[in-house]
Structure 1
Amino acid sequence: MSLFVSMHVDCPECDHTNTMDAVGSVNADRRPDLREDILEDRFQIIKCANCDTEFRLQPEFNYLDVENGLWILAMPADGVADYIENEDKTTALFGTSYGADAPDAAQTVGDNLTCRLTFGWLAAREKLVLRIAGLDDIIVEMMKMDLLRRMPGAHFDIGVELRVTSVSDENLELAWVRADSEEALEFMAVSKEAYFSVENARDQWGGIEAQLTDGPFVDIQKLFLGGGRNQDAAE
């Protein structure tokens, strides 16, 4: 089921204390309206009762979507700095919910789920957009790396990320965004040929793919955050 808890949140504009139902978990199969709210970027947005400013809490919930074969632990954007610790938390939670430590019936469900960890709303939404479009998020992240190598105007500021916002028959629409505020800095359209080019040369990406998939946080950000899991284990 989908779980919500009532909590008090202060408006970032006027400091008025508002009450809202904050999400703890989403079952998109039972509540497809919540899936749609995430896709439409309107989930968990609250309007201040005092000044009408709209804002939303950073995500901290798990998302189950059996129809689309996806399970996500969505965390606040600033949690990315501790992604290895959060990967371990994600793996453990998925394991007890749908993995090896879960009841047999839940394991049967889990066999058809992809487990992912995300940071910030736009990252969680991106995973859902890609899954519904039938695209492999691992290939997409490697495609982003390929784009960055050839893109003279890439944004490399701290907290700025490259996210897929939509997928059409011909293109992937991407945006440079600020993870915490969700502000879009620049948009671009990339032909699906860029995706298929990486997919067809997947064997040449073995080292990068291994780093991307050494935990449930499948995102090029992890490639820029120090030595990663292997170095952490060596130390």
Structure 2
Amino acid sequence: MSTKIQKDIVCPACGQTQKLEMYTSVNAEENPELRRDILRESMFDWECRHCGYTAQMAYPMIYHDPMNAFMICLRPSGAVSGAEPIPAVRALKKRSVKNPQELKEKILIFEAGLDDAAVELVKNAIVTVVRKNLDGNVHAYFCAATEE
């Protein structure tokens, strides 16, 4: 079951307060529209109703896909918990990510039936080669492709 809460958010541009609905957990099977919003990278978008200021509001959440047997914890702060999983989730693939882009990537990797460790190794190799030719920070993300 997907769970949402409301928090008061103060706009950094105009100082006005408004409510923000935040999903603390998403069940992809029960709420495919939330899965779609994550993959479209719009779930964490926020716009101030007063002044139009926009920002990405990443917050902690759990994404669960029972059909594909995985669970992903989004932890923007990067904090790690040492909690032991309950028996119902022990058999699931469990991962922790730091931002909405990594959340989207893990969803696509697991839905494609791929080994995420192998994908990370390939990405690391590609980034290493690209960094030799470019200055600056380089990031790589898996993107699902169809035969079309």
Distance 1:21 1:118 in 2: 21
- Is structure 2 residue 115 aligned with structure 1 residue 153? no
Cα distance change of structure 1 residues 155 and 7 upon mapping to structure 2, 3 Å threshold: farther
Counterpart residue number, 1:229: none
Shift of 1:25: 0.9
Q: CA deviation at 1:67?
A: 1.4
Give the counterpart of 1:167 among 138, 144, 147.
144
TM-score, length-scaled by structure 2 = 0.85
Secondary structure, aligned partner of 2:95: strand
Matched, 1:24 2:2: no
> What do residues 88-118 of structure 1 show as CA deviations (whole Å, max 9, x unaligned)?
x1x525x13xxxxx3xxx25xx42x210000
**Aligned position for 2:45:** 45
Instruction: Say what the alpha-carbon RMSD is for the aligned residues.
Output: 2.1
Letter in 1 for 2:49: A
Residue identity over aligned pairs, in percent, reads: 27
Structure with bigger helix share is: 1
Evaluate the alpha carbon distance shift between residue 154 and residue 120 of structure 1 in structure 2; reply closer, same or farther with a 3 A threshold.
farther
CA-to-partner distance for each residue in 1:47-100, whole Å, 9 max, x for gaps?
A: 211112222321301111111221011011xx34x5xxx1xx1x525x13xxxx
CA distance in 2, matches of 1:54, 1:114: 34
Residue 154 of structure 1: CA displacement? Answer: 4.9
CA 1:68–1:155 in structure 2 vs 1: closer, same or farther (change >3 Å)?
Answer: farther
Q: Deviations over 1:165-212 (max 9, x none)?
A: x22146xxxxxxxxxxxxxxxxxxxxxxxxxxxxxxxxxxxxxxxxxx
Given that 1:11 and 1:55 are in contact with CA atoms closer than 8 Å, whether structure 2 keeps it comes out as no
One-letter amino acid of the counterpart of residue 41, structure 1:
E
- Give the greater-gyration-radius structure (CA): 1
Q: Which residue of 1 aligns with 2:117?
A: 138
Amino acid in structure 1 at the alignment position of 2:115: D
Give, in whole Å, the separation in 2 of the partners of 1:9 and 1:69: 34
SS of 1:67's equivalent in the other structure is: coil
> Structure 1's 39 and 21: CA in aligned 2 closer, same or farther, altered over 3 A?
same
Indicate the SS of the match to 1:23.
strand
Residue type of the partner of 1:132? E
Structure 2 residue 76 is matched with structure 1 residue 92: no
Give the distance between the partners of 1:11 and 1:162, measured in 2 at CA.
Answer: 31
CA distance in 2, matches of 1:155, 1:125: 26
Matched, 1:57 2:92: no
Q: Which amino acid aligns with 1:163?
A: Y
Q: Which runs of 5+ in 2 are unaligned?
A: none
1:124 aligns with 2:103: yes
Contact 1:148 1:154 in 2 (8 A): no
CA distance in 1, matches of 2:33, 2:51: 28
2:36 match: 36
Using the TM superposition, name which of 10-19 and 24-33 deviates more.
Answer: 10-19
Check conservation: 2:102, 2:141, Cα contact below 8 A: yes
Aligned length: 146
Q: Distance in 2 between matches of 1:144 and 1:28?
A: 26
